[in-house]
Each structure stands twice: as C-alpha cells, then as structure tokens.
Structure 1
Amino acid sequence: MRHVFIKAAASAGVGVLAFVTAQPTQADAPDRQPVRAAAESPAYFEMTDITHERFIVKLTKAADIEHAREIVSGETTDRPHLLARIVKRTAPYNPRWSYYANPDTTQFFDHATEVCDATIPYVEENLDEAGGAFLPGLVWCDWSSRLVREIPAP
C-alpha cells in the first residue's frame, strides 16, 4: 500500500510542479525595461541554504542573470529561491557536489510544492534516488535556498 501511495504522491507532485513552474505571461509581468535578447556570457552565483553549505549555480538566461543580480544586490526580494532540474554528475565549476542545477531549466520562485524541496547535502546523500519518488523528474527547489554572491567565471 505504501508503494501505491508514494507513486500517487509522486504523480501528483509532478502535476503540481508543472503548475508551479509555469512561466507568467507578459501581462502578469510588472512593467520593466525589456531584457536584451542577445546572448550573454554565463554568470555564476554562490547559493546557500539552511545547512550553510555552499553550491555554485551557472545561469545562462539573461533574465535569470538580471534577477539573480537584483537578489544579491538587495534590489529585490521577489522570487528569491532557485528551482531547476538537476543533472547527476559533477560540473567543473561546482566540483564538491555530484550534481548540478541545469542552467537551461533554472527558475526563481517564492513558493513551490514540497515534493521538490531538499537541502543541498540531502540531495547529495540521496542522489541515487533522485528522479523517482524523491525529486520527481529531477526537479529540485530548495525552499531555504538563497543566492549569496556572484563569483567570477571559472
């Protein structure tokens, strides 16, 4: 019976993630200067969470980079947490961990479903289970995540 419940919860969680991670329409976005469409160099940010561990994220989308810089500078407190699909291998810019946040899937959020919440070290400790009932679809949304600073490109 527990197995059925876990599968049902995971399926429901993936459905909720689709809703939570949906991008707002232009009409929902506040009036702001248009973000440059031109490709920009990636930017790297140090993230921490309730465990005080450090994790490096690579951002490649101009809007994400701009938002991350606004968070770090204190210009905004909107959508302070990071959500992304994880990739189960080490990234050269984040060698301490056996996973990294896929920059193509990165988003910022205020609130997200519990099924994707896990701390940095908990993901590492349970990486072999990620993608199943734990972090369905490999979607990770550490509720206590926060960007601390921008760091130079490696």
Structure 2
Amino acid sequence: MYKQILVLFFLVAAVAAETAYFAFKTHGSYNDLVFQLTDDKLIKHARDLLSGATDEEPHIMGRIRKQTASYNPKYSFYIDPTTIQFFNHAIEVCDSSLTYLEENLDEACGAFLPGCFFCPWTSKLTKEITDIK
C-alpha cells in the first residue's frame, strides 16, 4: 500500500510540473535567446515581469551549455534550465552580451565566463513562447 501511495505521489508531481519557455535579448543582440523554466516560482516571476506586476530581479542568469537546444535554434549554446535564476545585480566576470558570447563561444567557460556562468547585465525578458513543440 505504501509503495502505491508513493508511486501515485510521484505521478501527480510529474503531471503538476509545468514547463514554460521565455525569451530575452541583451544590448545589441538581434535574436532572442529562448530558455526553458520548470520551476513554478521562476515561471511565475517571469510572467510577473512580462505583465508588469514586478520589476524586481529583471535579469536572467545561469550556466551555459555549449550545444544547441531544439527550442533555441538561433544560438550555439543554451542556458541549463536547472541553473536559471533572476537577479538585480551580479559580478562583472559573468557579464556578456548574447552576440559577444556567440562570437566567442570557444573561449567561454575559461577566463571568459568562468565555470560557464552567464549573467548578462543588459538581459531583458521579451516574451513567453507558447508554440514550442
């Protein structure tokens, strides 16, 4: 009986978890970077930013992965969804524009963006993407 209840709990939790996609730009970027969120609090925060319900922690940060993601085809990297956070201020060593990062991706995760941590100071959420398959 205990085993059945535990399995049911995990099934309900899996169904309840929402996945949402959002996009942002940085100063001088031509294309939005699309990122995935699965944390309900972060999804709500992103939606609140877009609706104007809040202006706190408007910038996006997280660890980059040097490969494309199906939902982010314009860039050769994506932000690992499990590391995404929103912020007001961050240290300079993780700041970069999307364009500069794409053009210098081979140097990222060393002296440039140590630990692959990306915190673009000029990041601005632009929209929620609802038509990703």
Give 5+ residue unaligned stretches, structure 2: 1-12
Q: What's the RMSD between the two structures over aligned residues? A: 1.0
* 1:1-154 matched pairs, under 5 angstroms: 38=13, 39-53=16-30, 54-152=32-130, 153-154=132-133
After the TM superposition, which parts of structure 1 deviate over 4 Å for at least 4 consecutive aligned residues? Answer: none
Give 5+ residue unaligned stretches, structure 1: 1-37
| Pairwise CA distance, 1:118 | 0.2
My pick for the range that moved more, 40-49 or 133-142, is 40-49
Provide the C-alpha distance between the structure 1 equivalents of 2:43 and 2:17, rounded to a whole number of angstroms: 9
- Deviation string 1:29-60 (CA, Å, 9 cap, x unpaired) is xxxxxxxxx44221001111111431111111
Identity of aligned residues (%): 49
- Letter matched to residue 133 of structure 1: A
- Letter matched to residue 86 of structure 1: I
Provide the C-alpha distance between the structure 1 equivalents of 2:34 and 2:59, rounded to a whole number of angstroms: 14
Provide the C-alpha distance between the structure 1 equivalents of 2:69 and 2:79, rounded to a whole number of angstroms: 9
- Deviation string 1:84-108 (CA, Å, 9 cap, x unpaired) is 0000000000111000011100000
Provide the C-alpha distance between the structure 1 equivalents of 2:42 and 2:106, rounded to a whole number of angstroms: 29
Counterpart in the other structure of 1:19: none
Provide the C-alpha distance between the structure 2 equivalents of 1:122 and 1:42, rounded to a whole number of angstroms: 28
Kept after mapping to 1: 8 A contact 2:95/2:121: yes
| TM-score, normalised via structure 1 length | 0.73
Provide the C-alpha distance between the structure 2 equivalents of 1:83 and 1:96, rounded to a whole number of angstroms: 18
| Pairwise CA distance, 1:62 | 1.0
| Pairwise CA distance, 1:76 | 0.3
